[in-house]
Amino acid sequence: MEQTIGTADRPLRVAIIGAGPAAFYAVEALFKQPGLVCQVDMLNRFPTPYGLVREGVAPDHESIKAVTRVYDKTATNPNFRYFGNVTFGKDVTLEELLPLYDQIIYGVGAQSDRRMGIPGEDLEGSFAATVFVGWYNGHPDYRDMNFDLSCERVAVVGNGNVAMDVARILVADPEALASTDIADHALEQLRQSKVKEVYLLGRRGPVQASFTNPELKEFGELEGVDVVVDPKDLELDAASEENLATDKNATKNILTLRRYLENTEYTRPRRVVFKFLTSPVEITGNDGRVSGLKIEKNRLEVGNDGTLRAIGTGQTETLEVGLVFRSVGYRGVPLNGVPFDEKTGTIPNVAGRVINLATGETQSGQYVVGWAKRGPSGIIGTNKPDSLSTVQSMVADLPELKGIADEKRDPALAEQLLKEKGLEYVTFQDWLALNEHEVSQGKAQNRPRIKSTRVAEMLDVIRQAATSRT
């Protein structure tokens, strides 16, 4: 007799790929579904969980990271297992997972960045801001990046919160960062930094900037940093004035920017220069290295869709800079065997159900959450309702779900697969041991933790902890 999937007799078996906020909120939502019994396995590329909370949130935004306590609570559910250090598509394939799980959720975020598409973008010294973010946050992929901070001026292109984070880290007093969990290698280099001036370039005006007000205000609170704003940029056109009326964040931003105008004596050792209505047109170079950024002044024009667009005026200037960070958005990368929409950089879906773009058909049992679902937007909390909506689709689909074969339902089979493949997977208990190690290392220096930044280093700590447990 066929059993109902999602009951004590026939638990729903779910695999979730990724361990960031969206993935954890999906697991939490699954466990909270009334009457649903499910077993969840989380597969993650790195030994460490939490995705961008660990590898993206700025080190001086420690309080935001407290959100991981909620994820840790989810992880205590006996029906949850964590398999870190397992890369989907490389260590295990979709074909191998499909027979073992009734439903699979992709929560892989957006692993790459958008490009500006201008000449000189590949010169030495031109980087994606996301790489710099990964570097100072101890992301193992960017551990050995080398940013030459011997130049005095740097341009950051984009007006989102990532651009704000990058600019702030570049001008902050390294000694203020020394009490955070910033990666040691980054702290060391920032201590030698000669950077004095960071240009923050927005292609549209201050009303259209996507950074949020607390981030803008933080510049005014930084020791030794002047904030420079061109008063002309705050003379708003009629359409921007009109937009202000309905945009609380932009209204606050304009007030903050006007306050910055009150300081006209720039005597502090470092500065952030806001340049609105400017687009990068070319990165210029010398001997293959960035030497400048040519920018064009823009004006705003109402587009067909009613939004204000930046239109070049032909008026250009070149900023002498030694580094350019493009901070114009993250971008998803395709997963082996999973549909991908090249245009949006996301996994195509309807209400979280993965669809085949060519046919429009749903991929039965496959779902998506977070940035992989909706693109790189929103704050950490945005993912909670977003993941819940995907879980609601999963639950709604249960009556029609065929489910995996009975003989494949034993949870031990997934572990067996990883073992047979010779994978050194990391459990949540292993991660907690690594966490304890990082935190105890940090205590000696009065820091929240000292991050392990190489996978081999992480595995060493985990192995030692496992040995001392036995």
User: How many of the other CB atoms lie within 10 Å of CB of 405?
Assistant: 9
Q: Tell me, what amino acid is at 340?
A: F
- In the complex, the smallest distance separating the C-beta of residue 33 from ligand NAP, rounded to whole angstroms, is 28
| Phi, then psi, of 135 in degrees rounded to 5 | -65, -50
Q: Which helix (H) or strand (E) holds 259?
A: helix 248-261
Rounded CA-CA distance 22/26 in Å is: 6
Q: In this complex, which beta carbon is closest to ligand NAP, that of residue 80 or of residue 276? A: 276
CB-based contact 301:136 (threshold 8 Å): no
Q: In this complex, which beta carbon is closest to ligand NAP, that of residue 243 or of residue 363? A: 243
- In the complex, the smallest distance separating the C-beta of residue 328 from ligand NAP, rounded to whole angstroms, is 4
Q: In this complex, which beta carbon is closest to ligand NAP, that of residue 74 or of residue 161? A: 161
- In the complex, the smallest distance separating the C-beta of residue 379 from ligand NAP, rounded to whole angstroms, is 5
Q: How far is CA 63 from the centre of its chain?
A: 17
Q: In this complex, which beta carbon is closest to ligand NAP, that of residue 306 or of residue 399? A: 306
The DSSP letter of residue 206 is: G
Token pair in block for residue 265:
């004596």
- In the complex, the smallest distance separating the C-beta of residue 327 from ligand NAP, rounded to whole angstroms, is 6
Pairing, β 278-286 against β 225-229:
unpaired
Rounded CA-CA distance 174/456 in Å is: 28
User: How many of the other CB atoms lie within 10 Å of CB of 470?
Assistant: 4
Q: In this complex, which beta carbon is closest to ligand NAP, that of residue 137 or of residue 208? A: 208
Chain contacts with ligand NAP (rule: CB under 6 A):
116, 157-163, 165, 202-204, 208, 210, 215, 279, 327-330, 376-379
Tell me the residue number closest to ligand NAP, measured at CB: 160
| Phi, then psi, of 113 in degrees rounded to 5 | -130, 160
- In the complex, the smallest distance separating the C-beta of residue 376 from ligand NAP, rounded to whole angstroms, is 5
Q: Could you give the C-alpha distances from 73 to 22, 23, 24, 119, in angstroms and in order?
A: 15, 14, 10, 48
Q: In this complex, which beta carbon is closest to ligand NAP, that of residue 44 or of residue 161? A: 161
What is the length of the chain? 470
Longest CA–CA span in the chain (Å) reads 81
Q: Tell me, what amino acid is at 16?
A: I
Q: In this complex, which beta carbon is closest to ligand NAP, that of residue 6 or of residue 109? A: 109
Q: In this complex, which beta carbon is closest to ligand NAP, that of residue 11 or of residue 280? A: 280
Q: In this complex, which beta carbon is closest to ligand NAP, that of residue 103 or of residue 208? A: 208
Phi-psi map region of 109: left, alpha, beta (phi>0 left; psi -120 to 50 alpha): left
Q: Which helix (H) or strand (E) holds 190?
A: helix 184-191
- In the complex, the smallest distance separating the C-beta of residue 323 from ligand NAP, rounded to whole angstroms, is 17
Token pair in block for residue 385:
């309702």
Q: In this complex, which beta carbon is closest to ligand NAP, that of residue 387 or of residue 452? A: 387
Q: In this complex, which beta carbon is closest to ligand NAP, that of residue 74 or of residue 159? A: 159
Q: In this complex, which beta carbon is closest to ligand NAP, that of residue 189 or of residue 327? A: 327
Token pair in block for residue 181:
């969990």
- In the complex, the smallest distance separating the C-beta of residue 205 from ligand NAP, rounded to whole angstroms, is 9
- In the complex, the smallest distance separating the C-beta of residue 155 from ligand NAP, rounded to whole angstroms, is 11
- In the complex, the smallest distance separating the C-beta of residue 345 from ligand NAP, rounded to whole angstroms, is 12
Residue 288 CB contacts under 8 Å (≥ 6 apart), including other chains: 123, 124
Q: Is 382 helix (H, G, I), strand (E, B) or coil?
A: helix
- In the complex, the smallest distance separating the C-beta of residue 299 from ligand NAP, rounded to whole angstroms, is 13
| The dihedral sign for the CA sequence 268, 271, 275, 279 | positive
Pairing, β 197-201 against β 153-157:
parallel
- In the complex, the smallest distance separating the C-beta of residue 159 from ligand NAP, rounded to whole angstroms, is 3
Q: For residue 215, which of 165, 250, 144 has the smallest C-alpha distance?
A: 165
- In the complex, the smallest distance separating the C-beta of residue 177 from ligand NAP, rounded to whole angstroms, is 16
Token pair in block for residue 360:
């429009």
Q: For residue 390, which of 14, 6, 7, 44 has the smallest C-alpha distance?
A: 14
Give strand pairing partners of 243: none
